Amino acid sequence: MKINYPDGRIFNSQPSKSSLHTTNAKKKLIFGDRGMTLEEEINESNKYYRAHDIAVIYKKPTPIQIVKVDYPKRSKAVIREAYFRQASTTDYNGVYNGYYVDFEAKETKNKNTFPLKNFHQHQIDHLKMCQKQGGICFVIIKYVELKRYFVMPADEIFIHWDAQFDGAKSIQLKDIEKGSIEIKADYNPTLPYINAVQQLIESGKEKK
């Protein structure tokens, strides 16, 4: 199977805050998905899904508060002072087969517990609002060291999030295994998470 890496994708993809420090990001990508961040894996998968008319899902650009812009003559505008802003939403959304899809992606180097501090209140609130509107809402969790990936439905996330008020600080791997759909990294797409989305849609229909 041919792995088709479109040219210039680094310049087409919004750099994450973390990738700003990564001088060898391009090199890493050339050698395939090993060492790719979860964000890169999802972006690759989304390109595949768009190219094959399966889904139209994008990562939202990082919100920036722009303070100062120079407009040099005969040259494009240069932002000279700007700050990272807190997002109001999750990072990813789009449309799959008539369904609104909304999710956040989180990775951990832990081998068991997944710390709840990876989530922010605004992300939980946003997922709740989107779910109320009939969206398919979830989180993709990557255990970097274990090379395991889980699609955890928003309802499960909410249960663990609320458990913080009883003192919980993290989710145990066994609870993630129980409450999620595990997906395997692959080629074309790198991370076939839409299969899990389809399962979520079907299980939602069964409930009704």
- Residues engaged in binding its own copies (CB under 8 A): 11-12, 14-15, 17, 20, 50, 53, 55-56, 58, 60-66, 69, 76-85, 87-89, 93-100, 102, 126, 129-130, 132-135
Residue 50 or residue 148: which is nearer to its own copies going by CB?
50
User: Does 39 belong to an annotated binding site?
Assistant: no
The CB-of-15 to its own copies minimum distance in angstroms stands at: 6
- 145 among the known binding-site residues? no
**Is 108 annotated to bind ligand?**
no
Is 89 annotated for ligand binding? yes
CB of 35 to its own copies, least distance (A): 22
Nearer of residues 26 and 60 to its own copies, judged by Cβ = 60
Using DSSP's 3-state secondary structure scheme, residue 18 falls into helix
Distance of CA 196 to the CA centre of its chain: 14
Q: Measuring CA to CA, which residue among 91, 103, 100, 96 is closest to residue 134?
A: 100
Q: How far is the CB of 112 from its own copies (least distance, A)?
A: 32
Q: Strand 181-183 relative to strand 148-153: parallel, antiparallel, unpaired?
A: antiparallel
> Cα–Cα distance between 90 and 58 in angstroms, integer?
11
Nearer residue to its own copies within complex by CB, 61 or 115: 61
Distance CA 183, CA 195 (A): 8
Closest CA to 138 of 50, 83, 197: 197
Would you list which residues are annotated within the binding site for Mg(2+)? Answer: 89, 91, 104, 123
